[in-house]
Amino acid sequence: CRVRHYKFNVVMKNSSRLCSTKPIVTVNGRFPGPTLTAREGDTVLVKVVNHVKYNVSIHWHGIRQLRTGWADGPAYITQCPIQPGQNYIYNFTITGQRGTLLWHAHILWLRATVHGAIVILPKRGVPYPFPKPDKEAVVILAEYWKADTELVINQAQKSGLAPNVSDAHTINGKPGPVPNWKSYMLRIINAALNEELFFKIAGHKLTVVEVDATYVKPFKTDTIVIAPGQTINVLVTADKSSGKYLMAASPFMDSPIAVDNVTATATLHYSGTLSSSATTLTNPPPQNATSISDNFTNSLRSLNSKKFPAKVPLTVDHALLITVGLGINPCPSCKAGNGSRVVASMNNVTFIMPTTALLQAHYFNIKGVFTTDFPSNPPFAFNYTSTTPPKNLGTTSGTKLYRLPYNSTVQLVLQDTGIIAPENHPIHLHGFNFFAVGRGLGNFNPKKDPKKFNLVDPVERNTIGVPSGGWTAIRFRADNPGVWFMHCHLEVHTTWGLKMAFLVDNGKGPNESVLPPPSDLPKC
């Protein structure tokens, strides 16, 4: 194991794309930002220096941060932001993880341009549990906005209306010409703000081997489905002798709320192929191809080998049912929304961002920053997925946390609601991986559905889609003391309040409670 040092200078940089130039916030002047490479077991120190006018914080999405919650990164959750001219060293050790993850800004909408790959190689001498690819490449899918995304978020917040969609999708890290390589591993990352994406390559099957830095039972598919925050490693056999093949990323949206038809493309280009030769095209799936998405999701299983067993909690200490959805609240001052605005909530609570970081408030016992009364069940039951909305559309608001005893086992059933319209929500949990033990359409049935849970080899992830008009059930062990954010990874929904946090701390000894903060922790 070694210590890896990185320096992330957050700087403005002019970006010219889509026939216009604008300054964007970047790390080290690059979009996407630099790849952070380490091995399992390494300690990583990233010094982030803020040279821009915005407050900044960086999240290492999917890194477990065992006992290092102060390095997790979400602004006002685990740290105060790094103010202009200030810096902070994120210091964490990568324990029991290898694969692909991503890092991104975790404040406002800065992650639109402030993001990059995390590549965690297995320990030296430890092979992949699949044939070693000849070559690996990072493929970052993202969105490109001509508008300033900080203004877009501001308008969405003020008006209570949905913002526009991005102007384009981007594929960076295009794999270049293929000389003599027979096989590729693509490390695919969805860094988009607001859209789930399909990804496919003309004429080539993709063998899925890993998701969210956990190994899966390999399976072949034409198309993968990837939500913001998710990562997928696929093997591609370059079995053509020549030619150019289109790679396409296109949106998956199974609700009528937003429409976006932009498809991003890049080419897989065999060496020796004339640049003038024609490209083999591929048709992106229709935007509402729910069956393709369902097939893909249902094919995911943990590898569950001797070396990589799926440690699914078989008993549950805390069982929560959490509704996830959008709603309408009165807003007399919202001109654009005709006196009402879109809000989002979990169990009817619209989360209010605090102005002091929750982990600091917890550790230093600062009163009045949060409460620990996040409800374990919806406050009132209704037909969650009916198209006729319930009478009571309003939500309450607050900075409500749910307290979990250290090492307790937890089951969350995340139930989508159709109050405005059902929509697929990719929910991300910080600080843990979880097992996706069940999934279904309609309302979760607590009597029947748990009988069908997969407790043997469910896929292990950090971000999971709650299907539109349905539910998903996840389990994890609360073995990491800290304050851990859980939110929809569609940035617009997070902005509207689709978020909450867990507090894990027994107050008993250093293993079961939060360790002291580093001395350079930013102040609010």
Least CB distance to ligand C2O at residue 110 (A): 12
Nearest to 297 by CA among 216, 368, 185: 216
DSSP-assigned letters across all residues of 237-264 = E---SS-EEEEEEEEE--SSS------E
Q: Does 341 bind ligand C2O (CB under 6 A)?
A: no
Question: Does 106 sit near ligand C2O (CB under 6 A)?
Answer: yes
Who contacts 400 (Cβ-Cβ below 8 Å, separation ≥6)?
A: 349, 351, 370, 371, 372, 373, 374, 375, 500
The span from the CA of 510 to the CA of 494, in Å, is: 32
Q: Which is nearer to ligand C2O, 57 or 415 (CB)?
A: 57
Nearest approach, Cβ of residue 115 and ligand C2O (Å): 9
Residue 212 exposure: Cα atoms within 13 Å on the Cβ side: 29
d(CA 263, CA 265): 7
Applying CB under 6 A, among 40, 46, 48, 61 the residue interacting with ligand C2O is 61
Q: What are phi and psi of 30, to 5 degrees?
A: -120, 145
485 binds ligand C2O (CB under 6 A): yes
Question: CB of 380: closest distance to ligand C2O in angstroms?
Answer: 29
Residue 67 lies near ligand C2O (rule: CB under 6 A): no
Q: Where are the alpha helices (DSSP H) in 108-267?
A: 149-159
- CB under 6 A: which stretch of 36-44, 242-250, 377-385, 481-489 binds ligand C2O? 481-489
Question: How far is the C-alpha of 194 from the C-alpha of 148, rounded, in Å?
Answer: 15
Determine if 90 is a binding residue for ligand C2O (CB under 6 A).
no
How do strand 177-178 and strand 168-171 relate by DSSP bridges? unpaired
Residues 419-438 that bind ligand C2O (CB under 6 A): 428, 430
Q: Please say which residue, 106 or 475, places its beta carbon nearer to ligand C2O.
A: 106
The residue sitting closest to ligand C2O, measured at its beta carbon, is 61
Contact (CB, 8 A) for 302 and 435: yes
Picking from 426, 437, 434, the residue whose alpha carbon sits closest to that of residue 479 is 434
Interaction of residue 104 with ligand C2O, rule CB under 6 A: yes
**In the set 69, 133, 173, 229, which binds ligand C2O (CB under 6 A)?**
229
Of the candidate spans 6-14, 23-31, 448-456, 482-490, the one that interacts with ligand C2O by CB under 6 A turns out to be 482-490
Q: How many residues contact ligand C2O, by CB under 6 A?
A: 11
- C-beta closer to ligand C2O: residue 65 or 290: 65
Work out which of 192, 487, 498, 514 binds ligand C2O, going by CB under 6 A. 487
The binding site for ligand C2O (CB under 6 A) comprises 59, 61, 74, 104, 106, 229, 428, 430, 485, 487, 489
